[in-house]
Structures are given as structure tokens and as C-alpha cells.
A and B are shown apart, each in its own frame.
Chain A
């Protein structure tokens, strides 16, 4: 963001010192706080109870099912002198009201409630807002009861409700009141491992089913780098509104996936695409192409290159794509706008292209559940000779026919007139994302000299191209040098040549001359050296307290080969033991071999599923240790 800042504000913070009587919590409360703290070392606050009552009702005027959620949070400090911000999110379809907080003696607090936009990384503008206020807890065991109401105008925009919070919750209850003229299903997710108490009763006065879920001892939601999205991790309920009765008629909401599709289609139908606006461009882009594939690439790559991803998530614009002529004019758009422009350019070129909804890997759902919770992304599908290709122009350097890890294996909903098509984005083989690093070296007075060569394919290439293009031409050479040398003064790279960094097709290549100083040490008639410059994953072990599986950005396959011409008269008299670890989720194979007058070092690392599961952490750590041991050993060359 290029920010215009004209004045610098000098803020002088003063701490207000005011007198206040402190209510000392009872001993048993302090003991409880200590007990929870002992279990969750980093937690500074817990909810002894967090109850939510969800009441659905029919908003006859707007013909929508609406919901009112009343919540009561009993918050307790696990350490004294702690300030906690109560934060609630809302947007154009929801509101927060009736906020109050009482201390342990039932006295109402004066609250400084603020509302503001919730600015998120990567989203230019969104109608998401937050309502927040601070609460100060004087002592360990100090508590507040916070109550508030959140209203949803349309149940479609209330697709799920979670039990967990960013802090431990000792007792979480969600109670639903569902009038019998509304058909709403609740789908339980990630309940395994929790004691769930579910009760169903009938409230004759309201003619409603009352369903309550109680879960106990919920750990806090954790922010761990490389974790899956919350829908994979935490217990929650999907709220699935099926239909409602009005004037003796059954009105469908999302009874089936077809209803969801029809709703999406109705929004797509609101678009007024001006196909004439894109016709010229489509023609221009494809006029020199000699095959369908070349035409598709010309269009797809043009959108990737020329349309910037800038997301506006504002009300219905969060679901309705922007018209193709607007996106073309602005040269920016969100995923929907980019998918729509891609589609229209392809149609103008005579292809069968369709808008396609998808939930990325972050979401744990597929289209067997008709809900707005199941997708978060739109791409374009092209059907060519009965084969479907998926085009995601938000992936700036994705090659045609290759798919980003975040959508691989995910179900897609493809438009098909009144019907829809469900397909799955193919999973790519990890070898598709290979990074080959080859060095051919000779030894000259303690330095290893020769050539280096990197070759990238698939996502390893797409990521590298993205990084390099983000840096800017003026700094490209420095960036490449830094990338190759990792800032190590001993490893000097000169005559760096890189293949066209605007080209997505085929492989990307980086070649350079190497002068690796201080790489070998000579003692008497012996030379000691280690040919692994990178020492990949050197300290990449998982801590015992990590809670979640670890996701890599993509499936990886790195092959390193170093060939050293042995100095005359020398041969290897000690080679470290090879490492060969094979696991479904990772493999490491490292070995030195001597062949004639050459010493060969080969290392192959693969993460075929782009994921390390928590249950495999111990094995992973052992593998890392074995690899480190190898990295830390020296080859001995002896003059014979």
C-alpha cells in the first residue's frame, strides 16, 4: 500500500491513575483460575461458561429466515492486571446490540464500545466490521459476565457456529430454538474427542424444537503457523436452512445443492456482461495462436498478467461477480471478476467456458452440504474435447493445466444452465513440483569452484516466479544472488543467468558460476569437506506442544546433485553413512558415493502430500535428526 502520510502525530501516552476498589475473588475462584492456567500455560483468560441461545424466526416482511443470537460469556482472568478485548464481528447482513458487562458483584461496567472496519490482509475493502471493547481484570480470578445480542437478517449468511474461542472455555452451550414451520438441519463437525451432551425438547408455547449442545473443557483456538483452517480443527455446527412454511406453501432455502446453485445462478444472472466489450481483445489475443491450447493460454496468461487481484467484499458483491467489461476496464478484480472475465474472453474465442465455485483446502467441506460455508473461491472451467481444465487467474504464475495446491483435490461446482456439474480438481503428483539443483565443482586451494544450475517446475516454479516478479527489476540481480547464496559470504555466485521470468510454460532455469570459499580444510595429506551447501530443514523439527498438523504451501520434491572432481592423487577414505527415510508423508534420501575420480553427493527430499500429520511428528523429528547428523559430517579425502 502506497500511503500518503502528511503529518506525524506525536502521541504522548499517559497512564491514568485512578482509585478503584478491587473485589477480591473467592479462594475457590482463584484456585480454579490457577488450575486452568496450569493446563493452558499461555492463556491469560478463560470463559468458565460461554452460552449462546440461537432463535430462528421467519421475517415475513422480507420473506427470509432470520436469527437472533444471545450470548453470555463468563470471563475469568487467569492472571491479574490483564486487559482483554471482547471482539465481535458483523457486516451488512448482521448487527450487534444490547452489549453489557457486569462484574462479579453484578455491577454494570461502563463500556467504551467501538465499531470499525475490520481490515484484513489481502482484501482491499470488505463490509466486515468489528465491535470491540476492553475489560480490565484486576486480579487472578477476577471475572465479568458479558452479554450481547447478534442479529442475522438472513440465515443464509449465518452458515455455522463455533464452540471454541481464542481462550479456553470450560463449559460451552449452544441452544437452538427452531420453530416447526422452519426446517433447519444442524450438522455436527469435529465433535470427535469431546464429551457432547445433546438434548432435544419441544417447546409447545413457541411450537418449536429446542436443541441444545453442551461441550466441556474446550482448549483455545491456537494460531500455529502452517495450520489448517478452523473448519478442520474446531467443533462447530453447520446451520443448514432447508425450507420454511409461508401461507401454506413450502419455500425452499438451501434444501439441496441445486438450491444453492440456483441462488448462485440468480446472482450471476444479475450480471450484465457486455460481450462486445471483450470481443476485440479476445480476437487480438488469439489471432496468432495455432491451436486451442495456445488460444486458451493466450487468454489465461493475459488475465493473470494484466488483471490485478484486488478484492472488494461488500454485501452482495461478495457473491456476485463483477461484469467482464468492468473488470477489463479497471484491470483489477476479485476472484469472481477474474473468473468471469476469463470465461467471457474464452467464450468470445469460441470455447465452452463456465463459472466454477470452489472451497479451497482451508475449508473442510464439499458440495454434499448445501451451504454458503462450503466455498470461498471462484475459478473458470473450460471444457475441451470432453476434458475439463480449471483456470484460476488469481494464481499469477500458474501454468495452464496445473493447479495450485490450495484447490487440488477439492470439489468444484460448475455452472451448467439449470443444472450443475460436480467435479474434482485433479491431484498433482509431487514430482510435478520438482526443484533440481546441480553443481559441478572442482577443488582449488580450499575453495570449490564450478557451475550451479537450478531447474524448477510446477508450483516450485510458480512460487519462484511470483517472488521474483514481486521484487522488481531494479533489485532482481541482488535478489537472485541472495537467493542462491542465502546471504552466505563464502558462497559466491557470478554470471547469473535466469530464464524468462514472465514465462509460465515449461521449466524455469537459473545458472551461475560458483566459488564456494572455505568449503574444504586440508590437514596433512587429508582434505575434509561437506558438499551440502543448503543444509535444508536444518532446524525444522516440531515442538512437543504443537497442536496441529503442519501444511506446506505445496507438495515438494527437491533433488540436489553435487559432483566433485577429486584432486589428483586423492580418493575418499571416509564417507558419511547414507540416510534413507521413507514415509507416506515425507522421504529423505542422502548419500555420498565415489565413482572413478568423482565424488557424488545426492539428496532427494519429498513431501508428497504437502502435509505432516501430528501423529508423525516424532518420526519426522527423528528423520530431521538423522539428516542433521549427515549435514554435520565431513567427507575425508586422502592422498594416496
Chain B
């Protein structure tokens, strides 16, 4: 189990730091264990959770930040304090060993961060006696990185029924220049164990700006400020443990907190153009603040000259149509990413995280210079939030929209990675609201249809001559739209597309340069190793994909062939392969039972427990699948049971339909499954179940091959 009560969303700027101050351990101990709060002192196990493994009776997370008078320094204390009752042996084991760093250093690059931490553990026996754990018994476990002083401790005398009370406090001191932004946090209240009482407290001085938001029923912060300190507290009780569900966005459905604290000498910082108010927590970014996230005035582009020349050579410059934009995208992608891919695989180049953004900027600059209408669209991934609930800059993403007036068409771009996505908004932004940078209007981003994200496959099945229970299967797939992303990542390697893409720009794949003295070298060995490694990975991936799809014994996978990688303007990723399958045909005397439904591949299985649902259904995107299965019937056998293979369910959430027929010596099965939307409210879950269950049931249907029948 991973213990992480803060989940970091983004990392903002660390400023330079000095060695932290050093509060006395006994004072810290007294603060935690002398806590007079009723909820802490009288923490008891709610009856309804007696059957759990462990219950967190009390948990407090606190952030205590102050500016050091006169000096440009911040004192920052953050802590975690928990009382957990251990109700079985599994929980005793889980909480019996801890590791921690007494001091640590970290940060990004040259920006160092240092701190000192204090921990304390005590055990409260069922009869109320308390035993503190002797920290001198902790052992050092990392010799190499002594600065972090990583230690492990085994908690002694821990038994079922005991309460473990422990804390971890970190004290840091930062040098500040103008401002310091502490790590942002995005977390659900639910954890691995039920939680009886939780507090989150902020205790800050002037010039500390608190950004805080409670979502999905989480309680609000209360102002408890006194003595010149701004104190805000959130108290929550009775939180059930986490549960996993299909198509579930926890930050959209479960009680969630989002927060960040920023220190700034002035009320203007980060990209806020309006003065920020440190006297009360802020729970949303305004439209203006969101729009100010990014400076949209692109003043230059390193690629511009080259791009113009390329388009001129192609005879496209000045046409200002989609053909020109496509070519521009292809050129920019190649210059910034495509030409580096092979070297990336060879470990000789990096592709920085920002390169996708650079590409969008270059494309935007080009459009501006050519007089093509373009705009930045600021949005937020559906998984995190609604645009109206955005609080942290890290939640936001910028997309580029280009309006081709001549063709009355808008095209959209997100930052590409190793795969280019021309005019495709990734599913996480589809249907999300976005601000248009120029007009400041709020728009809804387009949503692709289930037809746009379509997979079609053909499966040709023959019975092996000398063993009817082994099938020889030939598979052809075509994935369109967003359906192709996963398969591209699983089944394509750089050599499936690079040669053609490099060749388009008159460039070639890496050639070995041996013993070249100085400079970058690529040896034949490196290329051979890479190809060998890729082939191995591909073999494993393909086997995994097939086995996952058919859940039977797969062997003799061969003749994998890519017809279309689906990277640039081919609209699909298409490939084929062959394999042998055992386990889908059973012998029954002279006859055979064929699990005919299984040929369409495994379908979503909703377990009994998942039949009831109160959380909304967030899916990646609308999508559809069609399968055509052709089974060559062996001579002398007749098929029975085709009626089981004809089904149809269609409703407002989606559908599944199938039909089967015998044509000559072929059994032909056609199925279609479609999810109309990328989101369904919880009340539509029954509708989804109708077609999900129909599709699953189809995979269970069998036909009989009756000898001479």
C-alpha cells in the first residue's frame, strides 16, 4: 500500500533555500500528543466499521507557514498526525514497519530544498496504557545518500486491537526572492481505510494566499483566525474507504479537496493580472485569471523560415487551405519530434516535454503571419474538473484552434508526443468547456462521434486439419480516431513508420558510424540491439494483446504486418496477423462445440458488485466496434444453434447487435457495439448494462458442429 496523503498535481517554482530551522523534538511531540481536541482525545471506533481491517479514527494534516521577520525567509511546517485502530493481523503487518527520512534535500536542478523532519509513534493498548516507540531503534538503510538519512523502524509491541498514534512533521526554511508557491494538492477524502474524523488546517501569516476548494460534497473551510494569524480549518467525518469502479473519475465523483498556498510580497504574482487577496481563501480562478495563464502574443518562431521554404517547394504556400495546414503540421512535427525519434530510442537524444507546446506556438505563429485565423483555447481535462471549478493553474491546458474560413472548417490541435494527432482533441478534453483567448468567450469543445472512433476487424477462422480443436486464425484490424491510440502504443515500433516519414523529407534512418573519433556515434551494435529489443518487446506485446482479447491458449503468432500506421493523414491504423488458438472448440463425441461468440474478442465484464452504481460514468470517448467473423466449416459438419447468435439491444447510451448466417461452407457472424457518448449520468447505468451484458452474453454463446447432421 502506498501511503500518500497528498497527491501532487504539478510542481511549481522552488526558490533557493537555507538549512531549515530546528524545532525541538520534545516540543513537537508535546504538541501532537497533547492535542486537547475532543475528536482526538475521545476517538472511538464506529460500530459500522468493526468488520474493517483498520480504521483511521483521527487524522490531521496541517500547514503552518510564516514569514521570518526582517529576513527574506519563510518558515514552513507541514505535518501529518494519525490515530489508527488495527483490527486484524493484516493491519498490524501493514503498520508494523515505517521508513522515513530525518533530513532531506530535493528540488529541481540547481534549486535545492532542504528540511528536517520529526516522527513519533506511540501505541495505545485496549486498556488505555500508552507506549512510545524508541526512535533510537530505527536503522539506517541508505549509505549512499546519507544526506537524506533514510531510516526504517519496526514498531514494537503492536497487536490486533491496538491504536497506533503517529505523526510526521517537516520543517523547512526557504529563501525567497518575490514569491514561493508550495506544492499544489488534489486529493479525494476517501483513503484505503475508513476515516472517522479528518481535519485539514492552514495557519498562515500575512502575504500567504490560500487557494482552496471542496468538491463533490466535501465540507468547506471554516475561518478560525485569531491573534493576527489566519487559521482555516476543514473538518470532515465518516468517510468510507476507496472503492474501484470502471469508468470512474474520483475527482469528479468523490468528495475531493484541491489546494495550494502561495507566499508573495506583492498581490500580483504568477500570471495574476488582478491583485490577489490574502485575507480570505480563494476557491476559483476567474475567467480573467484563466485567460491570463499564458502570453499568447507569439513573437517569433525558429521554424518559420524553414516551414515557408518547405511549403513553397510543395507549392502550397499562400493557399491558406487545409492542405497547407496539414503540410505545415507535418513539417513542424518532423523538425521538432519526428527526426529525433530514432535517436531517442537509441538513447542519443531527448525530446523535451515542452516540444509539443513549441510546435503549437510555431504553428500559431505561422498562421498569424499568413493571416489565417487561429485562437488559443484554454481548457481543463475532464478528469480533474469543470472549467468553472478550476483553481490551480496546473489544471489548465491550452489547445490551438485554426479557423479555415475558405473551407468553413475549424481544426484543433493539442500538444503532440511521439504520435501526431492532427485535428484530434484527445478524449480527456472532448466536450469540456474552454475559453477562447481572443474573444474571451466560453465554448464547448467538440465531441467526436462513436463512428469517428471506430474499430473494424475481420477474423478468418479455419479448423486445423489434423486437430479440429486447434483453430488457425487470421486477423485484420482497422482502428480509426481515438481507438487507434492504444494499439499504436502497444503494437507499433519506430521502424514501422520512420523510414517513410524520414524519406518524405529526404532524410534517412541512422547509419552506423564506427570509430569516428570525436562526435556523436552510432554503431551497428546499437542499431542491432535496438532492433532486437524492439522485436522482443513487440512479440511480448502482441502476445499480450491477443491473449487478453481471447483468454485462451494462443500459439504460433506470425506474419504481423502493418498496412497503415495511422500517424499522419491516413485515417486509420491497420494491421494483420495470424495465430493458432486452442480452447475455443471442445470435442463432444463425433461433434464439436464451438464458442463462436468468443471470436469477437473479450467484452467488458461487469461483476455482480458493479451492477448497482451511484457514480456518473466517465468514459474516454464515444466509440464503436464492428467485427466480421468468417468460420470455414469443415466438410461433413452442419451448424446448429445460430439463433443464439442473433441479438439486438439499442438505447440512448449505446447498443450491441449481432447476426449470424451460413453461406456456403462459411459461418458468418457480424456484430456491432457502440457507445454513443463519452459520459453517462449514473441513472443511465442500467441502459449501459443492457448492451454491455448483451455483448458479454454473446461471447458466451456456442454453436454445435454436428457430424453429418
Q: How far is the CB of A175 from chain B (nearest CB, A)?
A: 33
B144 lies within 8 A of A115 (CB): yes
Which residues in B have their C-beta under 8 angstroms from that of A330?
154, 156-157
Contact B700 A524 (CB under 8 A): no
Contact with A along B76-105 (1 / 0, CB 8 A): 001000000001111111111111110010
Known A310-B97, A472-B88; contact A632-B350, beta-carbon cutoff 8 A: no
Chain A residues whose C-beta falls within 8 Å of the C-beta of B528 in the assembled complex = 79-80
Residues of A within 8 A of B697 (CB): 518
Q: Does B291 contact A (CB under 8 A)?
A: no
Q: Report the nearest B residue to A502, measured CB to CB.
A: B89
Once the chains bind, are B700 and A124 in contact (CB under 8 Å)?
no
Contact of B523 among A15, A81, A472, A492 (CB under 8 A): A81
User: Complex formed: what's the CA distance from A489 to B551 in Å?
Assistant: 13
Q: Interface range on chain B: under 10, 10 to 19, 20 to 34, or 35 or more? A: 35 or more
Task: State whether A331 touches B608 (Cβ < 8 A).
Answer: no
Residues of A near B100 (CB, < 8 A) are: 4
Answer whether A10 and B529 are a contact pair too, CB < 8 Å, given A2-B94, A5-B3, A15-B350: no
Task: Tell me which of B4, B96, B696, B706 contacts A308 (CB under 8 A).
Answer: B96
**Is the beta-carbon distance between A308 and B53 smaller than 8 angstroms?**
no
Q: Which residue of A lies closest to B138 (CB)?
A: A125
Inter-subunit contact B586/A530 (CB<8 Å): yes
Q: Within the assembled complex, what's the spacing in Å between the Cα atoms of A291 and B65?
A: 65
Asked whether A483 is an interface residue with its Cβ less than 8 Å from the other chain, the reply is no
Q: Which of A4, A8, A331, A573 contacts B157 (CB 8 A)?
A: A331
Q: Which of B123-153 contact A (CB under 8 A)?
A: 139, 141-144, 152
Contacts of A138 in B (CB 8 A): 523, 525
Pick from B511-519, B537-545, B567-575 the stretch touching chain A. Answer: B511-519
Do residues B158 and A331 form an inter-chain contact, with CB atoms below 8 A?
Answer: yes
Contact A469 B159 (CB under 8 A): no
Please tell me if A7 contacts chain B, counting CB pairs below 8 Å: yes
> Is B2's CB within 8 Å of the partner chain A?
yes
A271 on the interface (CB 8 Å rule)? Answer: no
A114 at the interface (CB under 8 A from B): yes
Q: Shortest beta-carbon distance, A81 to chain B, in Å?
A: 5
Smallest CB–CB gap between A487 and chain B, Å? 8
> Which segment, of B213-221, B380-388, B587-595, B683-691, faces chain A?
B587-595
Report yes or no: B90 in contact with A8, Cβ–Cβ below 8 A.
Answer: no
Asked whether any CB of chain A lies closer than 8 Å to the CB of B30, the reply is no
Q: Is the CB of B90 within 8 A of A470?
A: yes
Question: Which B97-125 residues have C-beta < 8 A from chain A?
Answer: 97-101, 104, 106, 108-109, 113, 117, 119
Q: Which of A511-541 contact B (CB under 8 A)?
A: 517-518, 521, 523-524, 526, 528, 530, 538-539
Whether B88 pairs with A469 at a CB distance below 8 angstroms is yes
Find B517's partner among A19, A117, A528 (CB 8 Å cutoff).
Answer: A19
With beta carbons under 8 angstroms apart, the residue of B142, B156, B525, B529 that contacts A329 is B156
Kindly identify which residue among A2, A17, A80, A573 contacts B95, using a CB–CB cutoff of 8 Å: A2
Return chain B residues, CB-CB under 8 Å to A3: 2-3, 98-99
Q: Which residue of A lies closest to B155 (CB)?
A: A332
CA distance A5 to B143 in the complex (A): 18
Contact between chains at A129 and B157 (CB < 8 Å): no
Pick the residue among B51, B170, B519, B588 that contacts A6 (CB under 8 A).
B170
**Least CB separation from A493: chain B residue:** B608
With A9-B106, A331-B156, A632-B586: A475-B520 Cβ-Cβ less than 8 Å: no
The answer for the CA separation of A624 and B517 in the assembled complex, in Å, is 58
Could you tell me if B117 and A6 are in contact, using CB atoms closer than 8 angstroms?
A: yes
Which A residues touch B241, using CB under 8 A? 474
Contact B2 A81, beta carbon cutoff 8 Å = no
Instruction: Check A51 for interface membership: any CB of B closer than 8 A.
Output: no
Chain B hits for A6, CB < 8 A? 78, 101, 104, 117, 168, 170
CB-CB < 8 A to A524: which residues of B? 640
B89-A2 in contact (CB<8A)? no
Q: Is B553's CB within 8 Å of the partner chain A?
A: yes
**In the complex, A306→B160 CA distance in Å?**
8
Whether B587 pairs with A632 at a CB distance below 8 angstroms is: yes
Contact present for A633 and B587 (CB under 8 Å)? yes
Within the complex, what minimum Cβ distance (angstroms) separates A123 from chain B? 11
Chain A interface size band reads 35 or more
Bound complex: CA of A155 vs CA of B44, how far in Å? 57
Q: Tell me the complex Cα distance, A306–B517, Å.
A: 66
Q: Taking CB as reference atom, which chain A residue is nearest B583?
A: A632
Question: Residue A222 at the B interface, CB < 8 A?
Answer: no
State A10–B183 Cα separation when bound (angstroms). Answer: 13
Given contacts A2-B1, A521-B593, contact A80 B144 (CB under 8 A): no
In the bound complex, what is the Cα–Cα distance between A116 and B140 (angstroms)? Answer: 11
Is B3 a contact partner of A4 (Cβ separation < 8 A)? yes
Most chain B CB inside 10 Å of its own CB: which residue of A19, A471, A473 = A473
The answer to whether B144 touches A116, judged by C-beta atoms less than 8 angstroms apart, is yes
Please tell me if the beta carbons of A21 and B515 are within 8 angstroms of each other in the complex: yes
- Given the known interface contacts A3-B99, A7-B113, A81-B529, the answer about A17 and B93 at a Cβ–Cβ threshold of 8 Å is no
Known: A81-B526, A472-B88. A332 touches B156 (CB 8 A): yes
Q: Could you say which of A4, A119, A478 has the most chain B C-beta atoms within 10 Å of its C-beta? A: A4
How far does the alpha carbon of A475 sit from the alpha carbon of B53 in the complex, in Å? 8
Do A114 and B144 have beta carbons less than 8 Å apart? yes
Is residue B560 within 8 Å, beta carbon to beta carbon, of the partner chain?
A: no
In the assembled complex, the Cα of A7 lies from the Cα of B139 at a distance in Å of 21
A478 — which chain B residues lie within 8 A by C-beta? Answer: 609
Name the contact of B99 in the complex, choosing from A4, A79, A82, A526 (C-beta under 8 A): A4
Contacts A3-B98, A474-B193, A528-B704 given; does A117 touch B142 at CB 8 Å: yes
Chain B, Cβ-Cβ closest to A307: B159
A474-B52 in contact (CB<8A): yes
* Cβ of A22 under 8 Å from chain B: yes
| A-side contacts of B139, CB under 8 Å | 124-125, 312
B664 at the interface (CB under 8 A from A): no
Please name all residues of chain B whose beta carbon is closer than 8 Å to the beta carbon of A82 when the two chains form the complex.
529
Report whether A139 and B8 are in contact in the complex, using a CB–CB cutoff of 8 Å: no
Does B641 interact with chain A (Cβ within 8 Å)?
A: yes
Closest A residue by C-beta to B469: A632
**B501 smallest CB distance to A (angstroms):** 23
Residue B348 lies at the interface, judged by CB distance under 8 Å to chain A: yes
- Nearest CB on B from A180, distance (A): 40
List, in ascending order, chain A residues with CB within 8 A of B370's CB.
none
Q: Is B11 an interface position by the 8 A CB rule?
A: yes
A633 touches B11 (CB 8 A): no
What residues on A are CB-neighbors of B93 within 8 Å? 308, 470
A266 cross-chain contacts in B, Cβ below 8 A: none
Q: Which of A528-576 contact B (CB under 8 A)?
A: 528, 530, 538-539, 573-574, 576
- Which B residues are CB-close (under 8 A) to A22? 514-515, 521, 523
CA A330 to CA B137, docked complex, whole Å: 11
Verify B99–A119 contact, CB threshold 8 A.
no
| CA–CA, A528 and B585, complex, Å | 12
Docked CA distance A286–B525 (Å): 71
A472 and B90: CB pair below 8 A? yes
Residues of chain A lying within 8 A (CB to CB) of residue B275:
none
Contacts of A308 in B (CB 8 A): 92-93, 96, 154, 158
Residues of A within 8 A of B117 (CB): 6
Query: Of residues 594 to 611 in B, which have CB atoms within 8 Å of A's CB atoms?
Result: 605-609
B230 contacts chain A at the CB level, 8 A cutoff: no
CA distance A21 to B53 in the complex (A): 61
Q: In the complex, A9→B514 CA distance in Å?
A: 37
Alpha-carbon distance A138/B525, docked complex (angstroms): 8
Extra inter-chain contacts (8) besides given A632-B585, A634-B593, CB under 8 Å: A4-B98, A9-B106, A21-B517, A80-B523, A80-B529, A472-B52, A521-B704, A576-B587
Q: List 7 A-B contacts (CB under 8 A).
A: A24-B514, A117-B142, A124-B152, A138-B525, A474-B193, A524-B640, A528-B704
A: residues with CB less than 8 A from B are 1-10, 12, 14-15, 17, 19, 21-22, 24, 79-82, 114-117, 119, 124-125, 129, 138-140, 305-306, 308, 310, 312, 329-332, 469-475, 478, 489-490, 492, 517-518, 521, 523-524, 526, 528, 530, 538-539, 573-574, 576, 629, 632-636
Enumerate the 4 nearest inter-chain pairs by beta-carbon distance, A residue then B residue, closest first. A80-B525, A472-B53, A472-B90, A330-B156
